[in-house]
Structure 1
Amino acid sequence: MKRRYYIFTICLLASFFCYSQQNEIQIKAVLDTTKETLKIQQEIIFYNTSDTVLNKIYLHNWVNSYRDRKTPLSKRLIKDFKKDLYFAKEKELGSSTIVSLSVNFETATFNELKEQPDIIEILLDKPLLPKKEVKIAATYIVKIPNARFTKYGKTKNGYHLRYWYLTPAIYKNGWQLMSNLNLDDLHEKNSNFKIEIDLPKEYVLESNLYQYKNHKETKKNYYLVGKNKTDIILSINKEAKLKSYKTDRINVYSDIIPNDLNKKISTSILNRELHFIEKYLGKYPHLEIYIDKVTQSKNPIYGLNQLPDFISPFSENFKWEITMFKALTKRYLENTILINKRKDYWIIDAIQNYLMIEYIETYYPEIKLLGKASKIWPLKTFNFSKLKFNDKYPFVYQFTARKFLDQALNTSADSLSNFNRKIISKYKAGLGFRFLKGYLGDSILNNTIKEFYQKNNLKITDSNQFQKLLASKTTKKLDWFFNDYIKTNKKIDHTITTVLSEKDSFAVTVKNKRNSTTPVAIYALKEDEIIHKKWVSNIDSTKVIKFKKDNYDTFVLNYENLYPELNTLNNWKKIDKKILNKPLKLSFLKDVSSPKYNQLFYQPNIDYNFYNGLILGLQIHNKPFIKRNFDFNIAPYYATKSNTVIGQFAVNYNQFFEKTKIYKTTYGLVGGTSDYAPNLSYKSLTPYVNVIFKRKSLRDATSEFLTAKLIHIDKEVAPNILKTERDNYSILSLSYNYSNPDIIKEFRYKISTEFAKNFSKAALDLRFRSLTSTDTQLDFRFFAGVFFNNNTTDDYFSFGLDRSNDYLFELNYLGRSESTGFFSQQFVITEGGFKSILPVRFANQFMASNNSSIGLWKWVEFYNDVAFLKNKNSPIYFAYENGIRFNFVHEIFEIYFPLYSNNGWEVAQERYPQKIRFSISSDVKSIYNFFRRGLF
């Protein structure tokens, strides 16, 4: 058996000779499952392939990124609202301890970079000249991290190892250094590998290298060999997980195994996929391709892989086929095109997503975005059920672009928001290639992609090479693509302003509504059938395009969605002039906007409060899935308990800014009527302006905004009661809000002022929440409010210690006027923030309070509050209390049990259950914002 191994190794090593100046890596490792370590001896033959004399060499040591909470990886995960690594136990952490390191058999001086402990700097005693080599030898111990942090490391049943060994950094126009940020994008040169690893005998090793194993009495000895390889992944388990599929071209090894397909059919599908990829790219240089489920799960097909099987609208066969196609194209490209995926990822994303689009159009052109669910009533009545699978690309891009949350494709991957990195940038890149295909012709684009792949196969390259190659194949200008489309987030938006009938032609005027000058596809249709199509360039303002008269009824821009646009609803123009270019259509709930109709949506609503009872009604609005700048909704309701008609309305206009520090300004008018007490209603009318400032970056979760609003309240009073200043009033409210929802140190504050006829006041609400090194939560809140003047005659507008009067009608009280009973126990943390009801409940001069709590166990906390209240003609009142807080979902669902306060021992007093307070929010926006943290 040893003889077979030696022959096998000698043949492979002999083939390495063909690759001059190729890095070589040899590793001997022993797995210790009791200590969760790999003891490694590694040799690296490093070639200086640059024209620069090198005095240093850098090694990527990504295992060390798991060693503590100060590494770039830990900080990155915190920004993504993942605290597992930050609070991990020592035994779960990973590290790499260098025992010795030498260069050309001489002990070398080395150190970790100060802010990047996962990068090693080696100082060379002798400069490394161009085209020369050095031999680096390292002995080190790898402590394997728990896989729950990034899915790589110690798993429940074994080990899934990626980025586990020392890798030389690439020198190209400077050192290409990068820390592990859970982006799976290590930039490494292809190398020749020879790995020998000893495992306990009960374990099986699977990898993306050729392998040979030798059984011994107490262990298994594996020999792994490969040439021109990168990214060596080891799967070590007590039983084999990979299945082998032998296709016409290569062997596919994967643990993504279909449920219902037999191996023959699975192999046939993989064979078709590989033939398709080879048609567009060229021959794969290796004999095998390795697709592991862990890595694939971090790059899923969104919308396809997220639904559980029992409600998935797609067959298991289709899901597996498309999942494997995406994984195949990713591995096919990343294993052979050696691009810096952190700085230049867009070219790989563009090719991969373009191939995805082409594959679907070739084999599944009629499949819908909703799959078989598109045929189910009532879904089949919606426009989104008519969307084809590939329509998701422009639709999802437009969803983000309309909010101006997309980013340029040359933005470094570590600066992209998670939503852009995982979805939007990939979609935009793929759509960009479809744009080029339509504009240049598929032969030019496809030939360029194939030539680019073949010329750069197993070479370090970049997107500039693709740009030069494409430019050499066409006389058409491409500046608009490689400058505006790739390097900016400028939006494309054209519209047809007029269609004039002339003697023998139609004159169609197209207007460019944005600052991006790109080609435009214009179509002449007859009953939705394409009769004629033109590509038009250089529309920087307006341009008239002539069409010879024919049997047309409509002109449309971008009819086939060949490129992403900010707004596609203004692309249609009928030849027959009508008062309404598009008829009105009522649609249920929400839907995708239809370019053929002006849509209004209606949806049933249900709500509840103590005075109106169950509230049933209908909301009419103009908000499709992708919102417009102008929106409105009208919601009439019937209240079953009060037997009255109530309702609300809102009109908003959003103005976005691209070149200022202001992100968005919203101008709005809201109003409504509801009951605030038994058989007593109120009416409100509020014009407002909301100015939202831009974040430093889309990776930054902070927010800040200014709000100005004028609230008009008119309250109904009981019979024989005269209206007073507290029943009909207007208040000008100005506020500034700042929020940093960091998962470790959350900080928020609000500064507000109010001006009314009989009073004016200001307040500061400051909140700080922190997690200690032992994952104990500390929660602090400080409130201070003062009246500048106060000529009111009661406490209706005063600061509330335990419950705000909510005279602006902004808080989500179920029974806002209740002083006894269950609904009076609802708690909203405003103003004083006290839970106990004390003898002095209001302050008409000033109030200062501090609310704090400390975690005891999971969601159980101990709270302690103190406050100072000042009323006219009264001394300062000192308030205090403490108790137990059940913080199930922060500020959404909480319960408070008072213990001790100015009242004495609360638990020993009568009717204690009535002293318990609860906080519950039905505000859908707050709940959504809580769970979407880290996504946008």
Structure 2
Amino acid sequence: MKIIYTLFLTLFVVIFLGTECFAQHSIKASAALSVSEKTLSFSQKIQYKNTSENSLQEIYLNDWANSFSSKTTPLAERFAEDYYRKYHYAKDHERGYTIIENIQDSLQQKMRWVRPENMPDVIRVELTKPLLPNETTEIQLNYVIKIPDDKFTGFGYGKGTFKLKYWMILPAVYNGDWNVYSHNLHDLFIPKLDFSIDLRVPLAYNVISNLDVSEPTLIDSETKKVSLTGKDRIDLSLYVLENDFFETYKIDDLEVVSNIQDNDIKTELKELTLDRAVDFLEEKLGKYPYDKIVVSEEDYDQSPVYGFNQLPRFIRPFPDGFQYDIKLLKTITKKYLNTTLLLNPREEKWLVDAIHIYLMMEYVKTYYDDVKLIGSFSEIIGLRWFHLADLEFNDRYHYLFMNMARLNLDQALTTPQDSLVKFNKNIANPYKAGLGFNYIDNFLADSTLQKSIKEFYVDYTLKPVHPEDFERILKKNTSKNIDWFFTDFVPSNNFIDFKISEVKKTEDSLSVVIINKYPNKLPVSLFGLKNDSIVAKYWIEDVNGIKKKSPFRVMKSTA
């Protein structure tokens, strides 16, 4: 009887609880790379489980390569808006596309499919019967992807290289509505997936991926096969290279694979730098849920450290290792967040940006607090007399964001990524988001924000999440009113502009009248100075476009 009970309990755990341990959707595929034709040929199965409360009549799939299929796609229009002419003048064989050979169900019945109007990189597949809640269906596809030239986005084919980011047809996210959009700007939104892929490549090429890569199996004298596997993944980076420039570092339990280069930095210093960056992220966020993370020059080039990429390589105004450290930190932090937080990367990216830039600012405060914005140039006679020479390295975020604000070109943090101008998308809005976190950190004046960021990351790693979840955690951890951050700072591009209009002095205090020039409830800090030294700091709240009279006691210096 005990044996029967034990078997029943085991089956119960496996059937009813075990399903929670893995992704609800899976991809199984065989793919073959043709170097000469620049194509990937696929035979693929998608297992899709309906985790919603609605019956589904159709399933949407993302098809990245087909966004390059003509000069009139939404991606082409985005390139034109950014004044990027290479795509318009590119030859047909340099652009990508997808040839769908067939789409069918598990019974090999053909399924009707169509590309929605003005969405050439999205496929709508009609199901042969409604998919009820908690039911699973299978979609079988055979297709060929023509890989685009990497000069357009940094990903694609190059000389002896195939650097791929979204290189398969993958399901979209359904959370009551299908989250699909065209012209992929490195912001594809997919659910977490289990992958099992057999990939055939030429014998002379090496395979690097964030997925687990098996030892190669020889197919013939010119071809080998590797298996790529992974559980609960939302990132599918793949590098097939004739010459492998990636280096592997073992940091405790995490394997870091990187090709970020700095020829002036010794390998030992690179290892120490990487070890410190990983320790910092684990302290501030928590453990990375995978055994391996791949950080590449291509990832960095999507959003480089502004200023570093403008300097000639022979100019080094910063301390040894500083540029490499910041470059590496920015790339690995972005990858750490983007591969584990299931936020909508087009509609909700501001939260990832805020955490990303805030952590970079905290890192510099911790390890490079004395580094100036222009480095050693601040000591050069003629330059050191300018205000720019006095700015700290972290002042760069405010300086570059305000560049757009002064031109009245800044946009709200909640603006979708495809509606942002290029400078705001790449620089100003991420910096504004990070400055917003720094603003609220100063207002709270304790470790609440850092505690909340870590709690948010630990609680929602690889789980459906929205910015409202972070808001709830932050409000739970503080007794102060921070509604202003989510109602006035995040969704608005109004200026933050206060002024002191009147000061009255009494025997031992000052009465100050403050005016908020814009209709918001943002708090403002007021400092008390004596002999050019700060002797007091006050936060004034709820100055909502009206004068507010506040008496302050002058603190006497004990010196």
Q: TM-score normalized by structure 1?
A: 0.56
Q: 1:416 aligns to what?
A: 420
Partner of 2:555: 550
Say whether the 8 Å CA contact 2:23–2:232 is kept in structure 1.
no
For the residues of structure 1 that align with 2:147 and 2:81, how far apart are their CA atoms? 24
1:113 counterpart SS class: coil
Q: CA deviation at 1:17?
A: 5.9
Whether the aligned pair in 1 keeps the contact of 2:377 and 2:383 (CA below 8 Å) is yes
Amino acid at match of 1:278: E
Deviation at 1:395, TM superposition (A): 1.8
Contact 2:57–2:130 (CA under 8 A) maintained in structure 1: yes
The aligned counterpart of 1:163 is 166
Matched, 1:172 2:175: yes
Counterpart of 1:354 (choices 358, 366, 373) is 358
Q: 1:522 aligns with which of 520, 526, 544?
A: 526
Alignment deviations for residues 607-634 of structure 1 (CA, whole Å, 9 cap, x no partner): xxxxxxxxxxxxxxxxxxxxxxxxxxxx
Summarize deviations over 1:249-303 as a string: whole Å, max 9, x none: 4111111023233333212211111111111111111111111111211111101
Compute the displacement of 1:215 (Å).
Answer: 3.0
Letter in 2 for 1:60: N
Provide the C-alpha distance between the structure 1 equivalents of 2:316 and 2:272, rounded to a whole number of angstroms: 24
Q: Structure 1 CA distance, aligned partners of 2:492 and 2:194?
A: 39
Number of the residue aligned with 2:257: 253
1:139 and 2:116 matched: no
Equivalent residues of 1:245, 1:263 under 8 A apart: no
Distance change in 2, residues 1:231/1:154 (3 Å): same
Query: SS where residue 409 of structure 1 aligns?
Result: coil
1:452-480 C-alpha deviation (Å, 9 max, x unpaired)? 11111001211111112222222322221
> Among 156, 173, 177, which residue is 1:153 paired with?
156
8 Å contact kept, 2:522–2:541: yes
Segments of 5+ residues of structure 2 without an aligned counterpart are 1-16
Report the secondary structure of 1:381's partner residue: coil
2:536 pairs with 1:501? no
Q: Is the 8 A contact 2:208 2:238 kept in 1?
A: yes
Give, in angstroms, the shift of residue 16 of structure 1. Answer: 8.7
Quote how far apart the aligned CAs of 1:381 are: 1.0
More helix by percentage: 2
Deviation at 1:548, TM superposition (A): 1.8
2:244 aligned partner? 240
Tell me if structure 2 keeps the 8 A contact 1:180–1:186: no
Cα deviations by residue, 1:32-86 (Å, 9 ceiling, x for unpaired): 1121111111111111111111101000001011111121111111111112222
Distance in 2, Cα, partners of 1:99 & 1:161 = 22
Calculate percent identity across the aligned residue pairs.
36
Q: Deviation per CA, 1:858-905, whole angstroms, max 9, x where unpaired?
A: xxxxxxxxxxxxxxxxxxxxxxxxxxxxxxxxxxxxxxxxxxxxxxxx
Amino acid across the alignment from 2:212? Y
Alpha-carbon distance in structure 2 between the residues aligned to 1:66 and 1:298: 18
Q: Is the 8 A contact 2:98 2:144 kept in 1?
A: yes
Matched, 1:128 2:118: no
Question: Counterparts of 1:287 and 1:527 in 2: how far apart (Å)?
Answer: 55
Letter of the structure 1 residue corresponding to residue 61 of structure 2: L
Q: Does 1:372 align with 2:359?
A: no
Q: How does 1:279-290 map to 2 (within 5 A)?
A: 279-290=283-294
Task: Measure the CA separation in 1 of the matches of 2:189 and 2:522.
Answer: 33
Which residue, 400, 403, 407 being the options, matches 1:399?
Answer: 403
How far apart are residue 530 of structure 1 and its match? Answer: 2.0
Work out the CA distance in 2 between the residues paired with 1:173 and 1:424. Answer: 32
Which digits, 9 at most, give the CA deviation of each residue in 1:198-255, with x for residues without a partner?
Answer: 1111111111111111234221111111111122111111121211111124111111
Q: CA deviation at 1:515?
A: 2.0
Distance 1:130 1:268 in 2: 50
Mapping of residues 408-447 of structure 1, within 5 Å: 408-447=412-451
C-alpha contact (below 8 Å) 1:258/1:316 kept by paired residues:
no
Residue 405 of structure 1 deviates from its aligned partner by 1.0
**Offset of 1:307 from its aligned partner?**
1.2
Measured in 2, the distance between the counterparts of 1:338 and 1:237 equals 30
| 1:90, distance to aligned residue in structure 2 (A) | 1.9
* Structure 1: distance between partners of 2:471 and 2:141: 40
Residue 193 in structure 1 maps to residue 198 in structure 2: no
Instruction: Identify which of 52, 55, 61 aligns with 1:53.
Output: 55
Answering whether residue 315 of structure 2 is matched by residue 311 of structure 1, we say yes
More strand by share: 1
Aligned: 1:64 with 2:69: no
User: Which of the residues 197, 209, 212 maps onto 1:210?
Assistant: 212
> CA–CA distance in 1 between the matches of 2:162 and 2:401?
37
* Aligned-partner Cα distance in 1 for 2:287–2:206: 31
Deviation at 1:312, TM superposition (A): 4.1
> What CA deviation, in whole Å up to 9, does each residue of 1:477-499 have, x standing for no partner?
22211111111111111112233
Q: Is the 8 A contact 2:499 2:516 kept in 1?
A: yes
1:467 counterpart residue number = 471
Shift of residue 418 of structure 1?
0.7
Code of the aligned partner of 2:191? K
Matched, 1:333 2:329: no
Letter in 2 for 1:49: T
CA distance in 2 between partners of 1:528 and 1:54 (Å):
67
1:92 aligns with 2:94: yes
Tell me how many residue pairs correspond in the alignment: 537
- Checking the alignment, whether the CA contact within 8 Å between 2:27 and 2:46 is kept in structure 1 is yes
Match of 1:537 in 2: 541
Q: Provide the C-alpha distance between the structure 2 equivalents of 1:323 and 1:276, rounded to a whole number of angstroms.
A: 15
Query: 2:504 corresponds to which letter in structure 1?
Result: L
- The change in CA–CA distance for 1:335 and 1:16 in structure 2 (over 3 A counts) is farther
In structure 2, C-alpha distance between the alignment counterparts of 1:16 and 1:253, rounded to whole Å: 31
Q: CA RMSD in A?
A: 1.6
User: How far did 1:150 drift?
Assistant: 1.3
In structure 1, give the amino acid aligned to 2:468. Answer: N
Find the counterpart in structure 2 of residue 118 from structure 1.
Answer: 121
Give the letter aligned to residue 34 of structure 2: D
Identify the residue that residue 10 of structure 2 maps to in structure 1. Answer: none
Separation in 2 of the partners of 1:116 and 1:381?
55
Contact 2:528 2:554 in 1 (8 A): no
**Does structure 1 retain, via aligned residues, the 8 Å contact 2:22–2:231?**
no
Whether contact under 8 Å (2:23, 2:192) holds in the other structure is no
The residue type paired with residue 308 of structure 2 is L
